Amino acid sequence: MKKNLQEKLKNIKMLILDVDGVMTDGRVIMDDSGREIKNFDVRDGHGIKLIQRYGIKVVLLTGRKSEVVLCRARDLEIKEVYQKVFNKKEVFAKILLKNKLDCDAVAFIGDDIVDIPVLKAVGFSVAVADALDAVKKSVNYITQNKGGRGAVREVCEMLLQAQGKWPEIAAKYEFTEYL
């Protein structure tokens, strides 16, 4: 990992996630009753739980409104969820105030043009591998994995490694990779 990226990651206290295209592959499946179904990667979920255990708060910030998102947030014990947000930068400013954080203490993962204003404001900005090109040009890091397919987990592991927590996790799970 590049030294300046590692320095940015050391200061992160909060990870804000877009949902569609980041936590999911961006597809919305509806049954014939209009019920929405989304696919979430369990490894992304485990990465979220890991960073939460080490004191990094997770917040969801999405442009769509969906009951499925609230269910997933409850499952992952994510307390702050902002849905149907048209101006993400405005809500981002409120999140900073509420949590008494500076921009440099926040990472954000996005995939679409609506995410760019927040991506330009945070301390560590990330685009998923299948994000729009305009988004990729606006970030500090582009994941190897696609949205909904391990991109969130990838960033969670980066955060834990940069903050020196990964050896403790490796010891708990009895594996030696990344040490």
CA distance 54 to 154: 16
> What are the pLDDT digits (tens) for 58-95?
999 999 999 999 999 999 999 999 999 999 999 999 99
Number of folded domains that form the chain = 1
Is position 54 within any domain?
yes
Domain membership of residue 145 (yes or no) is: yes
The boundaries of the domain holding residue 111 are 3-173
CA nearest to 23, candidates 153, 112, 116: 153
- Where residue 52 sits, what CATH number does that domain have? 3.40.50.1000
Is residue 178 a part of any domain in this protein? no
> Is 119 domain-assigned?
yes
Q: Is residue 113 part of a domain?
A: yes
DSSP E strands: which ranges in 31-152?
36-37, 57-61, 80-82, 106-110, 124-127, 141-142
- 32: confidence class by pLDDT, cuts 50, 70, 90: very high
pLDDT tens column, 124-170: 999 999 999 999 999 999 999 999 999 999 999 999 999 999 888 88
| Any domain includes 179 | no
DSSP character string of 159-171: HHHHTT-HHHHHH
